A and B are shown apart, each in its own frame.
Chain A
Amino acid sequence: MHFLPVKKNQALIIGHNDHRYKIDLNWGALNANFYPVNDCHEMVQDSRGRIILLTNHTKNNVIIYDKSGNLIEVWGTEFPGAHGLTLNVEEGNDFLYIADNNRHEVIKTTIDGKTVLQIPYPKASGKYEKPEQFVPTETAIAPNGDIYIADGYGLQYILHYNAQGNLKNVFGGRGDGDEYFDNAHGICYDNRDAKNPCLLITARQRNELKRFSLDRKLLEVIPLPGAFICRPVIHGKHVYLATIWSGSGSANTGFVSILNEKNQLVSAPGGSTPIYKNGKLEPMHQTIKIFQHPHDVCVDDDENLYIAQWNSGKTYPIKLVRV
C-alpha cells in the first residue's frame, strides 16, 4: 500500500497572480558534443517565430530553435564574448545586434550571420582611452534605427549612436547619484506609452531599474531590492527581467521577475511572493531551487518564457509554459 501525499504527474506550477508557469527543463537540450554551450546569455524570437539563443561557445555562437526546442540551424564562431542579443526588424528584414565583451565591440548581423556593421570602442566620446575599457553588455534599438549601447562591464556609460554607428551622445557612467550606474547590464526601448517612449536601464548591483527620457534625463528609479536584474524585456504591457542572484547576492539564487504596466513586481517565478508595504517592495529572494543564474528571458508570441542561464553547468535554456 503506497501512500503518496501528492498526486503523481502533477506538474509544479510557479509564479504569482496572472503569470504562472509549468517548467520544461528539457526544452532545447542538444547533444553537447555537436552543439555545445558555455554561458547561455540571451535569447530572442525572430519574425518567423524561431527562438534564437546566443552563447559564448565559439563552436556555435548562435543556435536557432523552433518553439518546441527542435534545432533548426547554428552559426557563428567569431563571438568569444557573445553577451547581448537584440533583434530589430528593418524594412522587413530581421537584424541581430550582438554585444561582445571580449571583442569590445557591438556587431550587427543579418539573421543568418553576415556582419553588416561593427561599432568599436567609442573613442569619439572622449571618455575612453583604449578598446579594453569598453565592455558592452547590451543594445537597444529605437524605431528610427538609433542604437543605444550599455557598457555594463566597462565604464558604465550609455552610448547613443545613429543607425550608421556614429556616436551622438553619452550619458550615465560610474558615480554615486541616481543618474549613474553600477553594472548597467541591460537596456531596452520602452514604447508602452506610445506618446512618451523612454529607455529602461538596469543597475544590477544596485537592484534598480532606471527610466530615462530619450533626451537622457533620469525620470524614475524603480527599486527591486534583493533582485539582481540583468536586462529588461518588454512584451505587451509587462517587463520581464532575468534575475541572476537574489537576497544578498550569493550563488545559485536566481529567479525571474515580471513587472506590470506600472513597473510593479507582480510575479516572480522561482522567487518569493512580491509584497508591497507602504508602496515599497519587500526584499526579494529565491524560494525554490529551479534556476541557478538566469541571464535573460525571451517571451514568445504564446507568452511562454525561455530562460537562458549564465554559469549554470553548461545547461540549455529552461522553458516556462504559461498556465
Chain B
Amino acid sequence: MRSFFYLFIFIVIHSCTSTRDVQDSSFSTFAQAQQFRLAAPIIKAEDIFFSKKNEIQFLLRLEKSKIHYTLDGSEPTENSPLYHEKVVLFNSAIVKAKAFHPECKPSEITTKEFVKLGKKLKVKNISVTRNPHKNYPGNGVNGLIDRKKGTDNFRTPFWMGFEGGDLETIIEFEKEESVSKVTASLLSDPNAWIFMPKTMMVLGSKDGGTYEILNTLESAPTPEGTSTSLRFLTAEFPNANFKFIKVLLKSFPEIPKWHPGKGSPPWLFIDEIIVE
C-alpha cells in the first residue's frame, strides 16, 4: 500500500513537471533564438589617418559572440580571421568586421577605411566658396586640413554640412608643392539625407588665376539600403608642381527616387581634404 502511495506521488509530480514542460514550449510568445540580428561590431582605432602604423580593435561586448574580419575590403565570413587581440595596420586598408553568435543572426558588416598619409604640406590659406549650414559649421574651414576625422554621427562638430549645390575649396600652399593625390573625406548617411557627391573635380594652378583640370571622379547614385559610412574619394594624377589646388564637389541635383526625401536636394558632409 505504501509503495502504491509513493508511486502515486511520483506520477503526480512527474505529470506536473511534464505539464509545465509542455506549457513552456508551447508558450511561443517569447522571442526565440535566431529571431534577432546582432548589432554591427565597432571598429576602434586611435585615428582613421595614420603615418606609420595603426592599431585597431573590434568589439561588441556580448557573451558568446565572435567577430571575424578582413583587411582587403572583402566580405567577412566565419572563415575569415577570428578577432582575439588587436590588429596592426602598416598600410591603408578597408577593414570589415562581422559579428556571429549561436543564438542570433549574424550582424551587418561594419566597414572602416584607414588611410596612411604622407607628410603634411604647409598650407598658407584655405577658403570655401560658400558657408556651411549654420547647424553644421564643423571646426571652421581650417578643420578641413587638420587631419582629424569625424565619426559617423553627422551631429559631431567635425562635419561641415551643405544643403544641395556645389562646394568649391581652394587650398594655397606656402610654396609650390609636388602633388599627385587629393582625397576628400566625406559622410554617406542616407537616413539623414546625406549623400556622396556626383562629381569631384581636382584642379591645379601655379598662380591662382588659371587652373588646369587634374582629374574628375564620377560617382554612381547611392543604391537603396546603403548604411551610414565614412567615405573617401581619392583623385590621383601624374606628379606636378602647384601652389594652388582647387577641389570642386558637385552634389546630385536630387535625392534618389527610392528615398523618402526624393526630389529634395541632398546634403553634402565633408570633414577633410588631404593633398599629397
B29→A253 contact, CB < 8 A: no
Question: Is A10 on the interface with B (CB-CB < 8 A)?
Answer: yes
Given that A249-B153, A272-B60, A273-B63 are known contacts, is A287 also in contact with B32, CB under 8 Å in the complex? no
One of B35-43, B49-57, B79-87, B256-264 at the interface: B35-43
Give the nearest-CB partner of A11 in chain B. B30
Report the minimal beta-carbon distance from B98 to chain A, rounded to whole angstroms. 14
Report the minimal beta-carbon distance from A183 to chain B, rounded to whole angstroms. 13
A321 to B65 alpha-carbon distance, docked (Å)? 23
B153→A12 contact, CB < 8 A: no
Given that A6-B102, A249-B153 are known contacts, is A11 also in contact with B39, CB under 8 Å in the complex? no
Given that A6-B102, A248-B151 are known contacts, is A12 also in contact with B63, CB under 8 Å in the complex? no
Question: Is B103 on the interface with A (CB-CB < 8 A)?
Answer: yes
Report the minimal beta-carbon distance from B6 to chain A, rounded to whole angstroms. 32
Question: Is B113 on the interface with A (CB-CB < 8 A)?
Answer: no
B31→A9 contact, CB < 8 A: no
A91 to B104 alpha-carbon distance, docked (Å)? 49
Question: Is A117 on the interface with B (CB-CB < 8 A)?
Answer: no
Q: Mark out the residues of chain A between 305 and 323 whose CB falls within 8 Å of any chain B CB in the assembled complex.
A: 321
Question: Is B191 on the interface with A (CB-CB < 8 A)?
Answer: yes
One of A20-28, A122-130, A293-301 at the interface: A20-28
A9→B29 contact, CB < 8 A: no
Give the nearest-CB partner of A248 in chain B. B153
Question: Which B residues touch A23, using CB under 8 A?
Answer: 30-31
Can you list, as one digit per residue, whether each of A1-40 has a CB less than 8 Å from chain B (1) or not (0)? 0000111011110000000001111110000000000000
Question: Which B residues touch A7, using CB under 8 A?
Answer: 33
A27→B60 contact, CB < 8 A: no
Question: Which B residues touch A247, using CB under 8 A?
Answer: 42
A290→B61 contact, CB < 8 A: no
Question: Which A residues touch B31, using CB under 8 A?
Answer: 11-12, 22-25, 290
B29→A24 contact, CB < 8 A: yes
Question: Is A275 on the interface with B (CB-CB < 8 A)?
Answer: yes
Report the minimal beta-carbon distance from B88 to chain A, rounded to whole angstroms. 22
Report the minimal beta-carbon distance from B53 to chain A, rounded to whole angstroms. 24
**Interchain Cβ contacts within 8 Å, total number:** 79
Question: Is A289 on the interface with B (CB-CB < 8 A)?
Answer: yes
Question: Which B residues touch A288, using CB under 8 A?
Answer: 36-39, 62, 104
Question: Which B residues touch A219, using CB under 8 A?
Answer: none
A285 to B151 alpha-carbon distance, docked (Å)? 15
Interface size on A, residues (CB 8 A): 30
Question: Is A251 on the interface with B (CB-CB < 8 A)?
Answer: yes
Question: Which B residues touch A5, using CB under 8 A?
Answer: 102
Question: Is B156 on the interface with A (CB-CB < 8 A)?
Answer: yes
A67 to B35 alpha-carbon distance, docked (Å)? 24
A289→B38 contact, CB < 8 A: yes
Question: Which A residues touch B63, using CB under 8 A?
Answer: 273
B152→A248 contact, CB < 8 A: yes
Within 8 Å by CB of A251, from B25, B102, B191, lies B191
A249 to B191 alpha-carbon distance, docked (Å)? 13
Question: Is B135 on the interface with A (CB-CB < 8 A)?
Answer: no
A6→B33 contact, CB < 8 A: yes
Question: Is B125 on the interface with A (CB-CB < 8 A)?
Answer: no
Question: Which B residues touch A251, using CB under 8 A?
Answer: 191
Question: Is A93 on the interface with B (CB-CB < 8 A)?
Answer: no
Can you list, as one digit per residue, whether each of B61-93 has a CB less than 8 Å from chain A (1) or not (0)? 111010000000000000000000000000000
A10→B103 contact, CB < 8 A: yes
Question: Is A250 on the interface with B (CB-CB < 8 A)?
Answer: yes
A26→B42 contact, CB < 8 A: no
B191→A22 contact, CB < 8 A: no
Given that A6-B33, A12-B36 are known contacts, is A287 also in contact with B61, CB under 8 Å in the complex? yes
Question: Is A286 on the interface with B (CB-CB < 8 A)?
Answer: yes
Report the minimal beta-carbon distance from A181 to chain B, rounded to whole angstroms. 18
A6→B30 contact, CB < 8 A: no
A250→B25 contact, CB < 8 A: no
A6→B34 contact, CB < 8 A: yes
Given that A250-B228, A289-B39 are known contacts, is A10 also in contact with B32, CB under 8 Å in the complex? yes
A27 to B30 alpha-carbon distance, docked (Å)? 10
Question: Which A residues touch B32, using CB under 8 A?
Answer: 9-12
A275→B61 contact, CB < 8 A: yes
Report the minimal beta-carbon distance from B33 to chain A, rounded to whole angstroms. 5
Question: Which B residues touch A24, using CB under 8 A?
Answer: 29-31
Can you list, as one digit per residue, whether each of A254-284 has a CB less than 8 Å from chain B (1) or not (0)? 0000000000000000001101000000100
Report the minimal beta-carbon distance from A290 to chain B, rounded to whole angstroms. 5
B152→A272 contact, CB < 8 A: no
A289 to B31 alpha-carbon distance, docked (Å)? 12
Given that A248-B151, A248-B153, A287-B61 are known contacts, is A9 also in contact with B38, CB under 8 Å in the complex? no
Report the minimal beta-carbon distance from B47 to chain A, rounded to whole angstroms. 16
A248 to B42 alpha-carbon distance, docked (Å)? 11
B103→A26 contact, CB < 8 A: no
Interchain residue pairs with CB less than 8 A apart (11): A9-B25, A9-B32, A12-B33, A12-B104, A24-B31, A25-B31, A249-B153, A250-B228, A282-B61, A289-B37, A290-B31
Apart from A12-B31, A250-B153, A272-B60, what 9 extra A-B contacts exist at CB < 8 Å?
A11-B30, A12-B32, A25-B29, A25-B31, A249-B153, A253-B39, A272-B61, A275-B61, A289-B36
